[in-house]
Amino acid sequence: MRQARARKPATDYTSPERLQKIFRALDDLFPKAECALRHENPFQLLVATILSAQCTDERVNKVTPGLFQKYPTPQDFAALGQPVLEREVRSTGFFRNKSKNIIGAARKIVQQFGGEVPRTMEEMLTLPGVARKTANVVLGTAFGIPTGVVVDTHVFRIARRLKLSKQKTPEKVEQDLMKLVPQENWITFGHQVIWFGRKICQARKPLCATCPLEPVCDAPDKTV
């Protein structure tokens, strides 16, 4: 009589040991990871983050210095006509919707928040064009408030490649990551994974041969 083969134990992708290997590797790779969007204050960061949707940070950083020189305050943006701003940000793509949201956010900040970017997730989400990703970027980077984990396209892709989440929306991936990453590391972790996605775990051709996380990764699209 044939004996049944022993089943190979399932991999625990969220075990403390595996998570620590991931955290240590990211710390070694990007010990001082910061937001790549250039800004001098929370409002500038808000504008830059809205512009960065479906656009590279490099492109946004080419547009914003001149933009902020012309319009340095929320009041300046609130007074703009949408066609004027559209011309300024056209190269970032989706410029009509972005211009509408930036002007709308500026007006709400001026009218309801005394000209200051709000410091809570609940208030941030009332601003036009602001969802959790943008709110997390601004609250974490500008104010050091860990309200969640930034889930952009890089973080979404890598969380699924490393099997830290199986979810199919950024919001649900964020909820999984918030359970796995210590809250005091939420801000840094988001920046580290974004840089990791840009430099190593790229979308089309991840550099698996030089990746320190390769031993703990069994993503189906690995290149080694």
Same structural domain, 104 and 171: no
Is residue 125's pLDDT more than 90? Answer: yes
Do residues 170 and 114 both lie within one domain?
A: no
Write out the DSSP string of 147-167.
-S----HHHHHHHHHTTS---
Q: Do 90 and 138 fall within a single domain?
A: yes
**Given 76, 152, 172, 218, which residue is catalytic?**
152
Q: Identify the pLDDT of residue 7.
A: 56
Q: How far apart are CA 209 and CA 224, in angstroms?
A: 6
Query: Are residue 106 and residue 84 in the same domain, yes or no?
Result: yes
Q: Report whether pLDDT(155) > 70.
A: yes
3-state secondary structure of 26: helix
Cβ-contact 162, 217 below 8 angstroms: yes
- Residues 172, 130 within the same domain: no
Q: Is residue 20 part of a domain?
A: yes
**Average pLDDT of the residues in 14-18:** 96
Do 162 and 95 fall within a single domain? no
CA gap 126, 136 in Å, rounded? 14
117 lies in the same domain as 26: no
Q: Is 133 a catalytic residue?
A: yes
Same domain, 80 and 117: yes
The residue out of 90, 109, 143 marking a domain boundary is 143
13-41: average pLDDT: 96
pLDDT band at 4 (very low <50, low <70, confident <90, very high): low
DSSP 169: S
Q: Nearest 5°: CA angle at 154, between 149 and 156?
A: 60
Does 21 have pLDDT greater than 60? yes
Q: Which residue among 57, 98, 108, 133 is the active-site one?
A: 133
Q: How high is the mean pLDDT of the chain?
A: 95
The per-residue pLDDT for 108 is 98
194 with 124, same domain: the answer is: no
**Residue 152 among the catalytic residues:** yes
- Indicate whether 164 belongs to any domain: yes
Q: How does pLDDT run across 33-69, given as a tens digit for each residue? A: 999 999 999 999 999 999 999 999 999 999 999 999 9
How would residue 224 be classed by pLDDT, with cut points 50, 70 and 90?
confident
Tell me the C-alpha to C-alpha distance, in Å, between residue 2 and each of 6, 7, 8, 9.
12, 15, 18, 21
Q: Domain of 62: which CATH number?
A: 1.10.340.30
- Predicted TM-score (pTM) of the model is 0.92
Within 10 Å of residue 178's Cβ, how many Cβ atoms?
Answer: 16
Instruction: Say if residue 6 is exposed, middle or buried (CB neighbours under 10 Å; 0-12, 13-18, 19+).
Output: exposed
Q: pLDDT at residue 8 above 90?
A: no
Q: Does residue 9 form part of some domain?
A: no
Q: Determine, yes or no, domain membership for 172.
A: yes
Structural domains counted in the chain: 2
Q: Are residues 49 and 117 in the same domain?
A: yes
- Read off the pLDDT band of 185 (50, 70, 90): very high
Domain limits for position 81: 42-143
Burial class (CB in 10 A: 0-12, 13-18, 19+), 97: middle
Q: Which pLDDT band, with edges at 50, 70 and 90, does 26 fall under?
A: very high
In a domain, 6, yes or no: no
pLDDT at 133 over 70: yes
Does residue 10 belong to any structural domain of this protein? no
Distance of alpha carbon 211 from the chain centroid: 21
pLDDT score, position 152:
95
Q: Give the pLDDT score at 60.
A: 98
What are the φ and ψ backbone dihedral angles of 12, each rounded to 5 degrees?
Answer: -95, 95
Question: In CATH, what number is assigned to the domain containing residue 21?
Answer: 1.10.1670.10
Q: What pLDDT does residue 5 have?
A: 58
Does residue 134 carry a pLDDT above 80? yes
Residue 15 is predicted with a pLDDT of: 96
